[in-house]
Amino acid sequence: MSNITPDQALEKATAAAKAAGIAAQDAAAAAQAAQSYVDQLATAAGAAAHSISGGVIDPFVFRLSIFVLAIFVGYYVVWSVTPALHTPLMSVTNAISSVIVVGALLAVSVPMIENGTTFAKVFGFLALVMASVNIFGGFLVTNRMLAMYKKKER
C-alpha cells in the first residue's frame, strides 16, 4: 500500500467530489427526462382511453385506476422480498424518502404568492410527515435486521 501525503489525499478527494457532482447532475437530468416521458405516456394513455371509449372514461379515473393498481403491485412486490434482501431494500427506500423530504420541505416553504399555495403547503406537510415516518421506520427495521446477524453474548 502506498503512502500518500495529505495534499495528495485532498486532491484525490476533490477530484472524486467533482466526479460525484457531475454524476449527480447527470442523474438528475436523466430523472427529469424520465419523469417527462412518464407524464407524456400517462397523458397519451389517458387521452387514448378517453377517445376509444367515446368520452365515457375520464382521464382522471384512468390515472386513478393505474395508481390503485400500482399500490397493489407494490404491496405484493415488497411482501415477496426474501428477508436477506430486506436491509438493502430498506436502505434504498430511505434514500428515496430523503429526496421526498427535500421536496416536501420546498413545498411547505412556498411563499403565499398565488392561489393554491395553501394546497401545496398542506400536501407538502403530509408528504414530510409520511416520508419521515418511512425513514425512521426504515432505520428501525434495518437495525433489527442487522441485530439478527450479531453474535449473541452469553
Total domain count, the chain: 2
Statement to judge: residues 88 and 67 lie in one domain: no
Domain closes at, from 61, 80, 99: 80
Residue 21 lies in a domain: yes
pLDDT in the model for residue 47: 77
- 108 and 131 assigned to the same domain: yes
Mean pLDDT by 10 residues, the chain (154 residues): 74 80 76 75 76 74 84 79 68 73 75 64 82 80 77 72
Do 73 and 109 lie in one domain? The reply is no
Amino acid (one-letter) located at 104 = A
Examine residue 154 and state whether it is found in any structural domain, yes or no.
no
Asked whether residue 75 falls in the same domain as residue 102, the answer is no
pLDDT attached to residue 134: 79
Domain boundary among 80, 101, 125: 80
- Which range of residues forms the domain containing residue 108? 82-149
Same structural domain, 89 and 138: yes
Measuring CA to CA, which residue among 108, 105, 81 is closest to residue 92?
Answer: 81
Give the three-state DSSP class for 74: helix
Same-domain check for residues 106 and 140: yes
CA–CA distance, 28 with 42 (Å, rounded to integer): 21
Interatomic CA distance for residues 105 and 76, integer angstroms: 30
CB atoms within 10 A of CB 29: 10
Could you tell me if 16 and 89 lie in one domain?
no
Q: Residue 2: its pLDDT value, please?
A: 62
